[in-house]
């Protein structure tokens, strides 16, 4: 049985890790990878060519995956993935963002009442997430299309699609899809105007 994988890459280290695939001329700078339930011979983080990638990537379930395209920049942001997060090419994601494709807990108390106890038990045993019950947790893929720009400290929640060339203003909370070539902002994010 595979154990939890926790790795850290700075620009001085190679990404020969079994759970990462990166394209040519891509740099991983201060990247933290936390694979809670590894799947043999599976790439949890796939990055295209000529990208600069930072941040923390938490993979909660077996088969969870973040895919990042070409010529994309990701600052020191956090990604919590239990299903899939897809980021296109020519995308800029600033620092301090949180992108999360899951609620992480059930909305019903009776279904989540043991979460803290289960989390503590797995933490004490050194196998984070081992006892977590995901059967009642809602997760939906996030898609960030080509040419999008995500400002600093943005939160993007499960099931959201950010359209091509869209811009999300700093500090926004995105709970619904963002149309192509649109500037959105606020909490919750609302359309401000179209952009060329």
So which residues are the catalytic ones? 105
Beta strands in the chain (DSSP E): 5-9, 20-22, 27-35, 45-47, 52-59, 65-68, 73-74, 78-81, 84-87, 92-93, 98-100, 142-144, 149-150, 155-156, 161-162, 167-168, 173-174, 182-185, 190-194
Helical (H) or strand (E) element with 118: helix 115-124
The 3-state DSSP class for residue 67 equals: strand
Residue 115 CA to residue 137 CA, distance in Å, equals 11
């Amino acid at each position: 049985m595979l154990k939890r994988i926790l790795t850290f890459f700075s620009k001085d280290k190679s990404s020969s890790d079994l759970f990462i695939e990166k394209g040519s001329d891509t740099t991983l700078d201060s990247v933290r990878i936390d694979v809670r339930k590894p799947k043999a011979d599976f790439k949890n983080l796939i990055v295209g060519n000529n990208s600069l990638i930072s941040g923390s990537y938490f993979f909660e379930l077996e088969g969870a995956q973040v895919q990042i395209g070409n010529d994309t920049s990701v600052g020191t942001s956090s990604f919590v993935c239990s299903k899939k997060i897809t980021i296109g090419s020519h995308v800029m994601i600033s620092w301090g963002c949180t992108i999360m494709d899951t609620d992480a807990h059930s909305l019903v108390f009776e279904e989540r009442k043991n979460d803290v106890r289960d989390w503590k038990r797995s933490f004490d045993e050194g196998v984070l997430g081992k006892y977590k019950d995901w059967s009642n947790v809602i997760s939906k893929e996030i898609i960030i299309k080509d040419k999008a720009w995500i400002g600093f400290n943005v939160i993007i929640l499960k099931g959201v699609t950010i359209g091509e060339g869209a811009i999300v203003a700093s500090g926004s909370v995105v709970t619904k899809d963002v149309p192509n070539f649109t500037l959105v902002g606020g909490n919750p994010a609302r359309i401000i105007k179209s952009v060329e």
